[in-house]
């Protein structure tokens, strides 16, 4: 049945919808039971089954039965499951419209439930269940077997977060990864092709090779990183996006300093695939399982508790006293209950890990009245897209049953751009949210900047303090808090709860007790290895932490012996070094790396890997190419000049000079000991080694 048939054949479409639903719910039912459930004759049922089988929605198979009428079994195919989800939409849309017309006839007013452009507004009642993309348990078991023959795509961590929220209704009204028409509408004007508000491209990016192996109309299996199937997708669209345009329109600038733009250009696949998704099972989370709720589970909880108004607080940082005061006020202002809804998917590189944050949240949860507050974890991959992200967060919270949402100052801002300025204005997010509030379906509560007034020993909103000049106003910024934690300085009780500080100190000991990575980069022959060796000896002499040297030649021999010297292989070699360094850092050791590492994007990726666990200190050994060529101990430059070594850094391949390394050292006319000492002084100034 085609889309064009919908208006002309509503009865046939309804019957097909009911048939597919019945097969999903009772795959082993007899034909007579099926006909009775659908309230149609056996003859009509056979016609329907024949049509559904021809369309590829239902599969016939032999069944061992002595009863002639039960010798054939009908099961829903992957395509049938996807069609059932599509028809569910049309069925609900029509039924709501019929209800609305009846409501108007009886009362003279509309019900407010009829869709105007799409089903986003069908669910005005924040407690009614919302549609999910999952099939029933029995169908899922059968689909798992069928999917063994499908081409598989292993999802990235970000794609797994996106898929989970697609399947459980968190991204309602989306029915899958965006097709090209929807993608263009979202990028250009924050609207899907049907006019519904949606600000964020939810795309399945893949490599050119994978995209080339897929035909349009083909079903593919979407699997997690262990190979467990989560869903299938019918590929309806395949295109190469203009990523520079996406960066500009969605994130406000095509600037790699923005983490999502960096992801777009340097990590995401080149080709996008779009199409509807059929959910088989949700991704497995082994942590904090009791704290994770789907939109429908939260709505059911609100129903059970009798909560009509719920204000959501989005956070990716630990909660301190100012946040508590802010959330109390927001709930009071909206006369609503409070949902603390922290993101535990992917946040900004360098954020406190979610395990620590959740332990911090649990430590302060008993400071809130239990009957009016709850906490749930949201497995969202943030994009740090400021204004658009705020609108997106609002739509997600509306899907989770919330009626109000706290939008912060510089909400979901990624920090500074390449010029050292903020990507977004402090109130851009609030302005864009306000402009779209009626469509979002979740009212904004302004974030108040709370400060501690010492004389009154309480938190107050800064713009409400009338006697600013006569009182002592105290505040600790996020940067200052990180500094105090890093240096083991006091964190006052007026600022945070002792339980939270204790948890943070447990995870983040003072810098002089943490692991870190020193990463030397420079031309071949610049002196990286020599300085690295001298530094290693000096650090070992000081003692206290294990020191590991990951020198280019050592790594090539032990980790990367099969790799050549193409750009791809050199990148892979550096990523391996970064991985090992991050593990050493995580476990409290010191990693010293000394590869050439010519490409800025790869060095940045290694920095992000390491900074998840400790400090990353980039040292540019700034010896000129001429000096390196003079030294040429291994005769490599000579071979490169003769064309015997292809893609040689500085001769036939570029070197991206670090723009702002932690330290730049000159080695010409400076002895090695002095260079190593400069690095030690830098480490000391950063608090990584304690001054004796």
Q: What residues are paired with 310 via a beta bridge?
A: 337
CB-CB contact of 199 with 428 (8 Å): no
The reply to whether 316 belongs to the active site is yes
C-alpha pair distances (Å), 45 with each of 53, 202, 528: 12, 39, 77
Please provide the size of the chain in residues: 692
Q: What residues are paired with 615 via a beta bridge?
A: 516
Question: CA 203 to CA 153: how far, in whole Å?
Answer: 14
C-alpha pair distances (Å), 502 with each of 321, 452, 479, 614, 630: 15, 21, 18, 19, 55
Residue with the two structure tokens 């060095």: 603
- DSSP designation for 72: E
Residue tagged active-site, from 21, 158, 299, 316: 316
The helix or strand, by DSSP H or E, that contains position 206, with its residue range, turns out to be strand 204-206
CB-CB contact of 402 with 126 (8 Å): yes
Residue tagged active-site, from 75, 172, 184, 315: 315
Residue tagged active-site, from 317, 356, 372, 548: 317
**Ramachandran category for residue 195: left, alpha or beta (phi over 0 → left; psi -120 to 50 → alpha):** left
At residue 311, φ and ψ (nearest 5 deg) are -105, 130
Question: CA 600 to CA 659: how far, in whole Å?
Answer: 9
- Kindly tell me the number of DSSP H helices and DSSP E strands found in the chain: 25, 22
Q: Quick check: helix, strand or coil at residue 200?
A: coil
| CB count in 10 Å sphere of residue 190 | 21
Beta strands in 395-457 (DSSP E): 404-407, 443-446, 450-453
Question: CA 164 to CA 294: how far, in whole Å?
Answer: 9
CB-CB contact of 638 with 632 (8 Å): yes
Residues annotated as catalytic are 315-317
């Amino acid at each position: 049945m085609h889309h064009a048939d919908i208006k002309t054949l509503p009865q046939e479409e309804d019957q097909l919808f009911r048939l597919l639903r019945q097969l999903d719910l009772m795959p082993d039912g007899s034909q007579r039971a099926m006909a009775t459930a659908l309230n149609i004759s056996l003859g009509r049922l056979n016609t329907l089954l024949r049509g559904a089988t021809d369309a590829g929605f239902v599969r016939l198979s032999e069944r061992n039965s002595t009863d002639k009428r039960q010798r054939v079994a009908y099961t829903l195919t992957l395509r049938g499951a996807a069609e059932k989800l599509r028809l569910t939409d049309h069925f609900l849309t029509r039924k709501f419209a019929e209800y609305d017309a009846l409501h108007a006839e009886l009362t003279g007013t509309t019900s407010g439930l009829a869709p105007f452009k799409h089903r986003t507004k069908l669910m005005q009642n924040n407690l009614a269940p919302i549609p999910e993309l999952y099939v029933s348990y029995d169908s899922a078991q059968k689909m798992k077997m069928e999917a063994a023959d499908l081409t598989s795509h292993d999802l990235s961590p970000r794609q797994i977060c996106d898929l989970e929220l697609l399947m459980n209704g968190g991204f309602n009204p989306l029915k899958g990864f965006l097709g090209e028409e929807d993608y263009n509408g979202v990028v250009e004007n924050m609207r899907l092709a049907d006019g519904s508000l949606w600000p964020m491209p939810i795309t399945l990016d893949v490599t050119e090779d994978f995209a080339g192996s897929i035909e349009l109309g083909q079903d593919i299996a979407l699997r997690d990183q262990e190979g467990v199937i989560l869903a299938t997708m019918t590929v309806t669209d395949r295109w190469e996006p203009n990523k520079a345009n996406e960066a500009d329109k969605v994130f406000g600038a095509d600037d790699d300093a923005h983490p999502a733009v960096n992801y777009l250009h340097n990590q995401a696949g080149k080709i996008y695939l779009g199409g509807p998704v059929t959910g088989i099972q949700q991704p497995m989370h082994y942590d904090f399982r009791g704290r994770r709720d789907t939109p429908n589970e939260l709505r059911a909880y609100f129903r059970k508790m009798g909560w009509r108004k719920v204000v959501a607080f989005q956070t990716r940082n630990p909660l301190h006293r100012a946040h508590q005061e802010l959330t109390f006020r927001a709930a009071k202002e909206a006369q609503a209950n409070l949902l603390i809804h922290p993101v535990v998917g992917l946040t900004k590189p360098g954020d406190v890990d979610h395990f620590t944050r959740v332990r911090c949240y649990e430590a302060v949860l008993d400071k809130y009245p239990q009957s009016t507050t709850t906490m749930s974890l949201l497995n969202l991959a943030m994009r740090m897209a400021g204004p658009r992200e705020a609108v997106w967060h609002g739509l997600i919270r509306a899907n989770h049953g919330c009626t109000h949402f706290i939008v912060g100052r510089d909400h979901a801002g990624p920090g500074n751009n390449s010029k050292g300025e903020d990507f977004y204005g402090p109130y851009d997010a609030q302005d864009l949210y306000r402009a779209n509030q009626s469509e979002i379906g979740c009212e904004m509560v302004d974030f108040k900047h709370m400060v501690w007034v010492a004389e009154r020993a309480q938190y107050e909103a800064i713009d409400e303090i009338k006697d600013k000049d006569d009182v002592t106003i105290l505040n600790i910024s996020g940067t200052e808090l990180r500094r105090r934690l890093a240096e083991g300085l006091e964190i006052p009780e007026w600022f945070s709860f002792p339980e939270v500080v204790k948890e943070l100190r447990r995870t983040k000991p003072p810098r002089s007790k943490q692991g870190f990575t020193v990463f030397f980069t420079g031309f071949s022959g610049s002196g990286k290895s020599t300085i690295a060796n001298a530094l290693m000896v000096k650090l070992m002499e000081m003692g206290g932490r294990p020191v590991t040297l990951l020198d280019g030649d050592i790594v090539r021999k032990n980790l990367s012996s099969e790799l050549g010297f193409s750009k791809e292989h050199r990148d892979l070699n550096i990523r391996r070094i970064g991985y090992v360094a991050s593990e050493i850092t995580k476990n409290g050791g010191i990693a010293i790396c000394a590869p050439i590492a010519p490409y800025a994007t790869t060095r940045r990726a290694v920095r992000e890997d390491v900074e998840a666990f400790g400090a990353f200190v980039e040292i540019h050994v700034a010896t000129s190419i001429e000096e390196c060529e003079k030294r040429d101990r291994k005769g490599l430059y000579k071979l490169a000049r003769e064309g015997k070594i292809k893609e040689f850094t500085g001769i036939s391949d570029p070197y991206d000079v670090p723009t702002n390394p932690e330290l730049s050292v000159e080695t010409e006319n400076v002895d090695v000991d002095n260079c190593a000492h400069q690095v030690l002084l830098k480490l000391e100034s950063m608090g990584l080694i304690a001054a004796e």
